[in-house]
Amino acid sequence: MDTLAHLDGALFEAVQRDGVFEDSKTFVDSVPQTAPDEICRQFESRRHDRGFDLRSFVEEHFRLPQTAASGVPTNADTVDEHVRQLWPLLVVEPASIAAERGSLIRVPEPYVTPGGRFRELYYWDSYFTAEGLAACGQLDRVENLVENFSWLISEYGRVPNANREYYRTRSQPPMFASLLEVLERERGFDAVEPYLPHLEREYEFWMDGRESLTDAAASSRRVVNLPEGTLNRYWDDAATPRPESYREDVALAERASERDAADLYRNVRAACESGWDFSGRWCRDDDLASIRTTELVPIDLNATLCGVEWSLAQWYDVADDADKAERYARAATDRADAVAEYCWDADAGFYFDYDVPAGRRSEKWTLAGVSPLFFGLADDEQAAAVADALESKFLREGGLVTTLTETGEQWDAPNGWAPLHWLAVIGLERYGHDDLAREIATRWIRLVDDVFERTGKLVEKYNVEDISLRAGGGEYPLQDGFGWTNGVTVALKERFGCERPAAA
């Protein structure tokens, strides 16, 4: 029996192309009530019957997914209390997941979902959620996340984008080391040491193919060889329409008919691995039809991987493994030097992605440039220049705008995102720019509080330029719940002297 037969073939294409559901993700998250291959056979035998209704057929044979804590009212008067009440509503218990059928990968421990249409365990989201869980005293939830990610790495060699079968061909920004740092901060090194082999294995996933690269400008999957060092890019092992956005991807390929469809799909998927899906950052001319994610060496990915290398070096030093400590320290130093060479623009005073085919830095200003401060790659002069740029170019009434261009994509102006605010604030504090860090955090918290007072919701993203308006853009409506907004906001409140949320 093919337990995923409904994710491909005639039934899948009919449902997705005909727009049976407003959100393309609905069908791929639905759970077949009987054997999927048998459902597909029934569809083939009935689809041409007079009066056949595709929506009714799907509802007859599938259990449709529910949104996670979307629009759920609480009796909270404050954001802190609202978040405390939301945490249990966002938790998925593994025992509640059917052992067969459906696209969900069953992980061993309970996990916190982002909310809304995002009903599963997302990778980089979970680090920012964990900071909030730690601020709320829910360390057991942080430990659950660590266990689930270590299990996924054991099973697949990496943490997929999320625990869905259709996400297995890509990962997300590798924040497992940062998640382990939350655990170490609260529980000490002994709590982290058992997971070092898993962190190493994930690192090897990102570096897979580097030994085969001999030319100075060669690339293999996620690895890019450059004359002054080896860096990384985002990638996806598939080059087909995304099942969860099939209709949108096919329509984009039809609009970009002059372009090789497989190349387009690969670059769309690679942008999804970045977490920035989507942004003019990845496009040649701010139109998604020109997306070229795999041609860019992203500053945030390489800063993150440098952080992984430094974490491994430090932890193996504590574990008295001098050989591994030295190896990872050397890798981190080499990467930091390459990042400085290819991504730092001294004239602009900011970090940019590197455009490999053009042989120069991208000219697009994005908040990805704060990542070297968060992970400690910058020197004091570089950090001061980045701080100046944040204040003069990115700071708005509601916090930091994601990019300086408005394209209609959600990871561009006028939107601001919780994870990028956390990276910026912590990065600025790391280099002593405490006043600016506090100002950014204060503006963000004020915006989140204001929207909550007006709507009773914490949402996925915010309009930081006109705080009276909702954030928009992207493939789906604004989602509420919302994991990383909850996490970052309560963690920032705790950090800057606001009342600590009570433990649930």
Residue 214, pLDDT score: 76
pLDDT band at 100 (very low <50, low <70, confident <90, very high): low
What pLDDT digit, counting tens, does each position of 156-188 carry? 999 999 999 999 999 999 999 999 999 999 999
What positions carry a catalytic annotation? 277, 460
pLDDT higher than threshold 70 for residue 490: yes
Residue 3, pLDDT score: 60
Residue 91, pLDDT score: 95
Residue 107, pLDDT score: 96
| Range in 58-67, 373-382, 390-399, 423-432 the model is least confident about | 58-67
Query: What is residue 165's DSSP assignment?
Result: G
Residue 179, pLDDT score: 98
What is the C-alpha separation between 144 and 138, in angstroms, rounded? Answer: 10
- Residue 415: enclosing H or E segment and its boundaries? strand 415-416
Residue 235: alpha-carbon gap to chain centroid: 14
Q: What's the rounded mean pLDDT across residues 60-74?
A: 80
Name the one residue in this structure whose structure tokens are 């899906």: 277
Query: For residues 236 and 170, is the Cβ–Cβ distance under 8 A?
Result: yes
Burial grade of 435 (CB within 10 A; 0-12, 13-18, 19 or more): exposed
Name the one residue in this structure whose structure tokens are 């405390």: 84
pLDDT band at 200 (very low <50, low <70, confident <90, very high): very high
Mean pLDDT score across all residues of the chain: 94
More confident residue, 485 or 2: 485
What is the C-alpha separation between 203 and 293, in angstroms, rounded? Answer: 21
What is the C-alpha separation between 275 and 78, in angstroms, rounded? Answer: 29
What is the C-alpha separation between 328 and 312, in angstroms, rounded? Answer: 6
What is the C-alpha separation between 111 and 59, in angstroms, rounded? Answer: 28
For residue 362, CA distances in Å to 283, 366, 385 come to 11, 10, 18
Residues 6+ apart with CB under 8 A from 220: 208, 209, 210, 212, 213
Q: What's the rounded mean pLDDT across residues 316-337?
A: 98
pLDDT band at 94 (very low <50, low <70, confident <90, very high): confident
- Residue 111: enclosing H or E segment and its boundaries? strand 111-112
What pLDDT digit, counting tens, does each position of 204-261 carry? 999 998 888 877 667 889 999 999 999 999 999 999 999 999 999 999 999 999 999 9
Q: What's the rounded mean pLDDT across residues 37-64?
A: 96
pLDDT higher than threshold 80 for residue 73: no
| Range in 101-110, 314-323, 351-360, 403-412 the model is least confident about | 101-110
Q: For the packed helices 176-187 and 139-156, what is the interaxial angle rounded to 10 degrees?
A: 140
pLDDT higher than threshold 80 for residue 499: no
Query: For residues 99 and 108, is the Cβ–Cβ distance under 8 A?
Result: no
Q: What's the rounded mean pLDDT across residues 373-381?
A: 98
Query: For residues 372 and 351, is the Cβ–Cβ distance under 8 A?
Result: yes
Query: For residues 115 and 125, is the Cβ–Cβ distance under 8 A?
Result: no
Phi, psi (degrees; rounded to nearest 5) at 458: -110, 130
Residue 32, pLDDT score: 94
Query: For residues 313 and 328, is the Cβ–Cβ distance under 8 A?
Result: yes
pLDDT higher than threshold 80 for residue 83: yes
What is the C-alpha separation between 338 and 121, in angstroms, rounded? Answer: 33
Burial grade of 43 (CB within 10 A; 0-12, 13-18, 19 or more): buried
Query: For residues 452 and 73, is the Cβ–Cβ distance under 8 A?
Result: no
pLDDT band at 379 (very low <50, low <70, confident <90, very high): very high
For every residue of 263-281, which 3-state class applies, written as one string?
A: HHHHHHHHHHHHCCCCCHH
Q: Are β-strands 219-220 and 462-463 bridged in parallel, bridged antiparallel, or unpaired?
A: unpaired
Peptide bond into 110 cis (omega under 30): no
Number of other residues whose CB lies within 10 A of the CB of residue 115:
28
For residue 87, CA distances in Å to 28, 423, 481, 486 come to 25, 22, 9, 9
What is the C-alpha separation between 358 and 284, in angstroms, rounded? Answer: 11
Q: What's the rounded mean pLDDT across residues 368-394?
A: 98
Residue 504, pLDDT score: 47
Residue 498, pLDDT score: 62
Both structure tokens of 321: 């493994």
pLDDT band at 422 (very low <50, low <70, confident <90, very high): very high
Neighbouring-strand partners of residue 111? 92
Residues 6+ apart with CB under 8 A from 115: 67, 68, 69, 70, 86, 90, 460, 479, 480, 481, 482, 483
What pLDDT digit, counting tens, does each position of 279-299 carry? 999 999 989 999 999 999 999
Q: What percent of the chain has pLDDT over 70?
A: 96
What is the C-alpha separation between 448 and 129, in angstroms, rounded? Answer: 16
pLDDT higher than threshold 70 for residue 359: yes
The structure's pTM equals 0.96
Can you tell me whether residue 3 is helix, strand or coil?
coil
Query: For residues 267 and 240, is the Cβ–Cβ distance under 8 A?
Result: no
What is the C-alpha separation between 235 and 170, in angstroms, rounded? Answer: 7
